[in-house]
Chains A and B, each alone.
Chain A
């Protein structure tokens, strides 16, 4: 069964304290892995897409990496405004563009000033 597991469930950091969020996945084949950021009461905001093992993408203080089993979202020197829930989703390799994404439960990140 296709599954996405994110850890930790919640993470509290001090401003400037770098850390990583994990997204482990089990799918028969990977067509793409997505990271989103969601603020309370808002819709998810797209961050990155990764397609193959070894791929890395960066945006400001965030860097996403991908292996054959998991993805990491590295946060370097976080600021309070990075506080949000980070969601990971996987698009399985199946025929048809309507194949739905498999979502993790998210990691709630709080960055204290």
Chain B
């Protein structure tokens, strides 16, 4: 149980274009989803938290107009990197947490990640 998928697993795009990453909870309803960014040899950096049907809460220093997050259903959240630049190249990972007991426990279940390369 508690499986989270991400699509695509890797993407290469040209500078100035936008790219969308999907995150789906496959066997549970994710009331809260999180988007992280991870650089080589570094830990996870939280970008934003989103609750289903609400606007995402962005961490300090994360541009909300550049990283658009939509959590339109209890099983799907999307991250759109707008006008991507080479410095946006990174490993993006989503996680999901259900309501009820999962919310109390605080366990986040992670997707496999998306490697974004901007040329």
A residues apposed to B, CB below 8 Å: 31-32, 34, 36, 41-46, 49, 87, 91, 97-98, 100-101, 103-106
What are 29 A-B interface contacts by the 8 Å CB criterion?
Answer: A32-B105, A34-B106, A34-B108, A41-B91, A41-B113, A43-B6, A43-B93, A43-B94, A43-B110, A43-B112, A43-B113, A44-B110, A46-B109, A46-B110, A49-B105, A49-B106, A49-B107, A87-B43, A97-B104, A98-B32, A98-B49, A100-B34, A100-B46, A100-B49, A103-B43, A103-B44, A104-B43, A105-B42, A105-B43
Query: Quick check: A42 and B112 within 8 Å, CB to CB?
Result: yes
7 closest cross-chain pairs (CB), A and B: A43-B110, A103-B43, A43-B113, A91-B106, A105-B43, A44-B110, A43-B93
Contact with A along B71-111 (1 / 0, CB 8 A): 00000000000000000000101110000000111111111
Query: Quick check: B106 and A31 within 8 Å, CB to CB?
Result: yes
Task: Give which listed residue, A32, A41, A97, contacts B115 with CB less than 8 A.
Answer: A41
Smallest CB separation, B32 vs chain A (Å):
7
Task: Give which listed residue, A42, A44, A46, contacts B44 with CB less than 8 A.
Answer: A44
Query: Quick check: B32 and A97 within 8 Å, CB to CB?
Result: yes
Interface size on B, residues (CB 8 A): 29
B residues apposed to A, CB below 8 Å: 2, 4, 6, 32, 34, 42-44, 46, 49, 51, 57, 59, 91, 93-95, 103-113, 115
Give A105 to B2 CA distance when docked, in angstroms.
24
Residues on the A chain within 8 Å of B113, using CB: 41-43
Give A97 to B104 CA distance when docked, in angstroms.
7
Residues on the A chain within 8 Å of B57, using CB: 98
Residues on the A chain within 8 Å of B108, using CB: 34, 46, 101
Give A44 to B91 CA distance when docked, in angstroms.
12
Most buried by A among B46, B94, B110, B115: B110
Query: Quick check: B106 and A106 within 8 Å, CB to CB?
Result: no
Most buried by A among B44, B46, B113: B44
Residues on the A chain within 8 Å of B49, using CB: 98, 100
